[in-house]
Amino acid sequence: MLKSIAMGEAVGHPAKKPPRALQYWLVPVAGEGAKSPRRVTKDLVLRHHVFAMRNVVHSRTKVESGDRICFYVAGCVGVIADARVASEPHPEDNPRITYAGMFPMVINLDEVRSHTPPIVVDFGLRERLDEFAGRSANPPWSWFVRTMHTVSQHDFNLLIGAPEA
C-alpha cells in the first residue's frame, strides 16, 4: 500500500528480493568443433574471462554475479580453472565463441585462476566430496560431471585444490 508523501512518509515500493547465499558451480566444458574442451577453457575462460552456455543450461541454473565457478574437462584431465561470476548470464553474439548460436548465453568472469596441473577428480578426491556421501566413489561417476550444477562450498574448495580447514 502506498503512503502519502505529503504526510512525510515514504512511498511504498515492492519488496526487494532478499540476497541469496553465494553458490558454487561445477561446469563440464564442451569442445567447439576442432577445439578441445581444454582449448575452449584456455581461450574463453583464462584468456578472455567469459564462458558461454546453452539456453537449456541457462534456464535450469540460476547463476548470479558473485557466485564461484570451476571448469571441469573430461578425459582424466580434471578441474583446470576457477573464477568468480562477474555478470548475470546474458545473450551475446561473441565472435570468440565458435558456435555462438549453440551457446548464446554468456557470463563474464573475474578472479580467474588456472590450475596447472589440473585437479584430477580421482577416487581419493571423490570419496572426500559431500556429493558422494552415501554413494560409491567407484565408477561409474560421470553423473557428477555431466552437466552444470551446484556443489557445496566444501566440495568446491576440494575441486579447486584449496587446503582443507
How far apart are the C-alpha atoms of 134 and 104, rounded to whole Å? 37
pTM above 0.85, yes or no: no
Q: What is the pLDDT of residue 30?
A: 83
Quickly list DSSP for 22-68: P-EEEEEPPPBTTB-HHHHIIIIIIIT-EEEE-HHHHHH----TT-E
What are the pLDDT digits (tens) for 45-104?
A: 999 999 988 765 655 678 999 999 999 998 778 999 999 999 988 888 777 776 666 778
| Maximum pairwise Cα distance, the chain | 69
Question: What phi, psi does 107 have (nearest 5°)?
Answer: -120, 140
User: Which domains, and CATH codes, for the chain?
Assistant: 24-159 (3.10.590.10)
Q: What is the pLDDT of residue 4?
A: 43
The proportion of the chain whose per-residue pLDDT surpasses 70, expressed as a percent, equals: 82
How far apart are the C-alpha atoms of 82 and 93, rounded to whole Å? 23
Q: What is the pLDDT of residue 164?
A: 74
Is residue 134 pLDDT above 80, yes or no?
yes
Inter-residue contact 68 to 156 (CB < 8 Å): yes
Is residue 9 pLDDT above 60, yes or no?
no
Q: Which three cell numbers stand for residue 22?
A: 553465494
What is residue 164's DSSP assignment?
P
Is residue 121 pLDDT above 90, yes or no?
yes
Work out the angle at residue 75's Cα, subtended by the Cα atoms of residues 69 and 81, and round it to the nearest 5 degrees.
Answer: 25
Least confident segment among 37-46, 121-130, 151-160: 37-46
